[in-house]
Amino acid sequence: MAKTKNGQIQGLTSRDVFFAAINGLIFGALLPVVLKNMNIQISANKSFFIAIAFAILAAVGVSTGYFLSKYIKIFFQIAKFGAVGAANFAVDIGILNLLIFLTGLATGLPYTIFKIISFIFAVTNSYLWNKIWTFKKTDTKKTGKEFVQFITISVIGLVLNALVASILVNVVGPMGGIKVKTWASVSAAVASVCVMAWNFIGYKFWVFKK
């Protein structure tokens, strides 16, 4: 759980719940885009309820993280990072699938380029949410240095993300009878999970270190 400058415990606020819900909503809203590219059609009504459901789940998840932080303090921060990470994943894979859908290309160099583009959007989203909410870094005196550090961690993450996804798509290839376009999304998901731990450590202990 977070503490104030006076050392007092800072409780779960309505702002935390609202921000968690917004990140869940982003994930839920972009999920149908991914499913559509997998030839899974979802009606507008179902898409709406899915978005609301994920908003509620994210709010509950962050609230649970807060209560668990009474025993292990970092849980609250991890819960917020997870909510942001889910939204980042949705932005990443949503844009990736949109580019694949628009071009019909899901392998080779085009896929790697699409993955880099989608990851850049996700990184921008990540920076804003993690700075303002997850790590609550309000100091603007070292913004330039902080930004350089953030870009450094993110670029390394970008390389790892694109490398893992590209190897799975272009070297390993679809397994278990999975279609090419579906495998492209699966590969992106695996890459995002692998990079998540790297990003959390880098952001917490270097970029947004207080």
In total, how many domains does the chain have?
Answer: 1
Q: How far is CA 191 from CA 115, 132, 170, 186, in A?
A: 10, 25, 14, 9
Q: Judge whether 26 and 85 are in contact, CB under 8 Å.
A: no
CA-closest candidate to residue 93, choices 38, 153, 12, 175: 38
Per-residue pLDDT of the chain (210 residues; tens, 9 = 90+): 444 443 334 678 999 999 999 999 999 988 887 787 777 888 888 889 999 999 999 999 999 999 999 898 889 999 999 999 889 888 888 888 888 888 988 888 998 899 889 888 888 888 889 888 998 877 767 777 887 898 899 889 888 888 989 999 989 888 888 888 788 888 888 888 888 888 888 998 888 887
For 43, the domain range is: 2-207
Six-digit token pair at 9?
């415990």
Burial track 163-195 (b if 16+ CB lie within 10 A, e otherwise)? ebbbebbeeeebeeeeeebbbbbbbbbebbeeb
Question: So what's the pLDDT on residue 10?
Answer: 60
Q: Judge whether 209 and 136 are in contact, CB under 8 Å.
A: no
Beta-strand pair 9-10/2-3: antiparallel
